[in-house]
Amino acid sequence: MHNPNYKYKVYPINQAKVEGIVEVSGAKNSVLPIICASFINRKKTHLQNVPNLNDVNVLLNIVKSIGVKSSFLEEQQEISIEEFNFESISINIESDDTRKIRYSLLLMGALLGAGIKEIKINLPGGCGFSERPYDIHLAGFEKMGCSVFEYENHIEIKAVNGLNPSVVELRFPSVGATENLLMAACGVNGVTILKNVAIEPEIIDLIDFLKKLNISIEFIDTRTVKIDSQNKRDIEINHYIIPDRIEAISWVILGALTSDEGICVKNIDINHLFAPLLELQNLGVDFKFENGSIDVKKSKFFNSSDLISDVYPKLATDYLPMFAVLLSMANGTSSIVDTIYPKRFGYLNELQKMSLVYLQKNGEAIIRGNTNYTAAEVTSTDLRGGFAALLAGLLSNGETIITNAYQIDRGYSNLVEKMQKIGIKIERMNA
């Protein structure tokens, strides 16, 4: 894992010719829950198309801390995880690594699904851009028959008498809660009904993985899923991680902003990208889709727009920081409303240091177009905000320094190598 104390120096594109092929890696938000779900299996799990990310390495370290061996072949993009065979009914996850990634929360559902009766785990970390409550997760566990105890620095969950068949309705279609409760349901001797679930592609990828264990999972309607794990079997699993849709759109926006010759973004699933591609089309982005690839080149002008994030299949909150940079280059004034995380605008404060003009009020950001970015030292406020700062740096008049660059590498596999391959000059520097 990289030393987190480094920064990026980004050179403007007026010093480079941006063109070539970019290969999208496997989805960060898919591989992390599936690594957790491997606990439900008592045989080996083999994952392909695994992105080389800090978060993956952190999670594997946590897995190692409770005695599960794994190997990550980064060049081959493959992980093998040994079978999960614990005699103990109690697991205490004290590793400080849990504080580095939010996905450590999913170890709770995974361990319950594996039959563990008592779990103690440190509170999670991850992107700090907004309050991200996990009460939905815990309320679901309680509905399944768990006793939940919250402390200042950790959570304890007890299911001494096992998990009950139940009907659980989420108050909001949270991705993490849906994943946690899906995995916990795999430890129920009976049927679990989950209502108002998230239906992101990464959820479907997790479901496809769990089905390989002969767990019956079916959608009763769009957001209601029925889980019956009574015929669950332990099977050596091979699973291919879906492409990362957020990374795909990040590269498409980069091409639209910087590449006169055009870049080809490969290894995408168009079925996951309808909402962002429709917005890009409305903004005037010049792209075409063919055979699992998107060809995109620099647009002559961008239309202003009013963007609103919402739960999938609508426009995801994670796209908004990159769209903000694109809107800052449009003709006229645009607005962004983030209905998922209304306070997720810290990245705009950093872009302001580079001459962005914006106004924020009541969960809405008003962005002035035709921005002439100036080079500055800025901070990667979170994973996607960091990529937005990087885009602005490419458009600026000089060398931009991005501190806390570790955040960007949490979600973009082999970023420097991919950028250099298409002609972008970027350097990783010691802080």
**DSSP at 14:** G
Q: Are 175 and 197 in contact (CB under 8 A)?
A: no
The H or E element containing residue 352 is helix 346-352
Q: Are 59 and 103 in contact (CB under 8 A)?
A: yes
Residues 108, 98: Cα–Cα separation, whole Å: 12
Tokens of 133: 């409550």
Q: Which one from 36, 127, 146, 186 is the annotated catalytic residue? A: 127
DSSP 356-383: --EEEETTEEEEESS------EEE--SH
Backbone angles phi, psi at 224, to 5 degrees: -125, 125
Q: Is 186 a catalytic residue?
A: no
Residues 235, 213: Cα–Cα separation, whole Å: 6
First to last CA, the chain: 16
Tokens of 181: 């409760």
Q: Are 52 and 1 in contact (CB under 8 A)?
A: no
Task: List the strands of the sheet with 286-290, edge to edge.
Answer: 19-23, 262-266, 293-297, 286-290
Q: Which residues are catalytic?
A: 127
